[in-house]
Amino acid sequence: MPDQTSGPDHTPAHSRRGELVPYRRPEPPRPEPRHRWWNKEWWHKGQHGWQEHVAPAAVILLGVLAVVAFGLVVRAHTADNPDPAVAPPIVVPTAAQVPIPLPSASPSPSVRPVNSIIFERGSVPEVVNLPAEGTSDWVHWGEQGKYALERKEDGGFAILEGTPGSPRTRDDAGPDRYRWTGGSPLGTAKNVTSGIRLCGAGDGFTLSAPAGTVISTLKLYVGVGAGQGLLQMELSTGGEVVTDRITHRGSGITTASYTVNYRATGTGKISVKWITEESYGEDCGGVVLYAAALS
């Protein structure tokens, strides 16, 4: 019969030889620990994971320290040796900016002067200041008699009158006034209305003044009463004859001023004729000459 170790209530059973054996309660199983830090296997696994993270971090830290150290060295070197001046960037012009070379201008040929006479007719100012109008020379006719003339004392006789015509009369009824200083033989005069009048068709005055390659200006102060006056101008060096006419009918006198700008091809003179082309009066129809000024 087999041995019975224990009953259902864990009471001692008899041995094979009938001896009593003391009952030993089996040890209950130990529960697993909540914290396994002390577990050796876990410790080895944790140690290996830490090494895997620390090693790359150490490499990165060393790289950062190396970069910082290099920056400090470069900064110290820059402070001791400042950078040289930076050259400006070279700008390469585009096709639209490249200048196109132009041919050099050839010297212009010298312009040869031409014979030219240009005039303008206008009214006579209320008062004519002869020294201001004629800086080179000026002449006034008739203040001291029908054959007298008053002129710029140092004018050098630039304005000349030809052979006086006849019959010649002094006319002091002119509507305009003249004044001057520095004259000869009459040094100073003002409010002068006199002039010289020639009567009859074909009679008149002939004047001349120097001409050259530089433009000169001749001013003429003339009048006509009961007739038609003809003005003719020409240069001794050639060119066209320039003319103009003034007509007056009835009593009184019509006056006018001519501004004549002229230039010649060389040294010469300008000739001026102021003549009575037609006479309408039985008394004394004709032209009047008051003054001339050259500048």
Residues of the chain scoring pLDDT < 70: 1-57, 59, 70, 73-74, 76-111
DSSP letter for each residue of the chain: -----B-TT--B-B-TTS-B----PPPPPPPPPS--TT-HHHHHHHHHHHHHHHHHHHHHHHHHHHHHHHHHHHHHHHHHSPPPPPPPPPPPP-TTTSPPP-PPPPPPPPPPP--EEEEEEEPPPSEEEHHHH-SSEEEEESSS-TT-EEEETTSTT-SEE-SPPSSEEEE---SSEEEESSEESS--EEEE--EEEEESTT-EEEEEEEE-SS-EEEEEEEEEESEEEEEEEEETT--PPEEEEEEE-SSS-EEEEEEEEEE-SSSEEEEEEEEEEEE--TTT-EEEEEEEEE-
Single pTM value for the model: 0.64
Which of 15, 13, 14, 10 has the alpha carbon at shortest distance from 25? 10
Strands 160-161 and 149-152: unpaired
In this predicted structure, what is the pLDDT of residue 115?
95
Topology (CATH) of 116-294? Jelly Rolls (2.60.120)
In this predicted structure, what is the pLDDT of residue 65?
79
- For residue 257, give both structure tokens: 């001023």
**Domain locations along the chain:** 46-79, 116-294
Contacts of 112 (CB under 8 A, 6+ apart): 265
In this predicted structure, what is the pLDDT of residue 270?
98
User: Could you report the per-residue pLDDT of 73-95, keeping only the tens digit for each?
Assistant: 667 666 565 555 555 556 555 65
Distance between CA atoms of 204 and 230, rounded to whole angstroms? 9
Which of 279, 86, 267 has the alpha carbon at shortest distance from 197? 279
Which of 152, 167, 98 has the alpha carbon at shortest distance from 293? 152
Neighbour tally for 235: CB within 10 Å = 22
Contacts of 23 (CB under 8 A, 6+ apart): 6, 10, 11, 12
In this predicted structure, what is the pLDDT of residue 254?
96
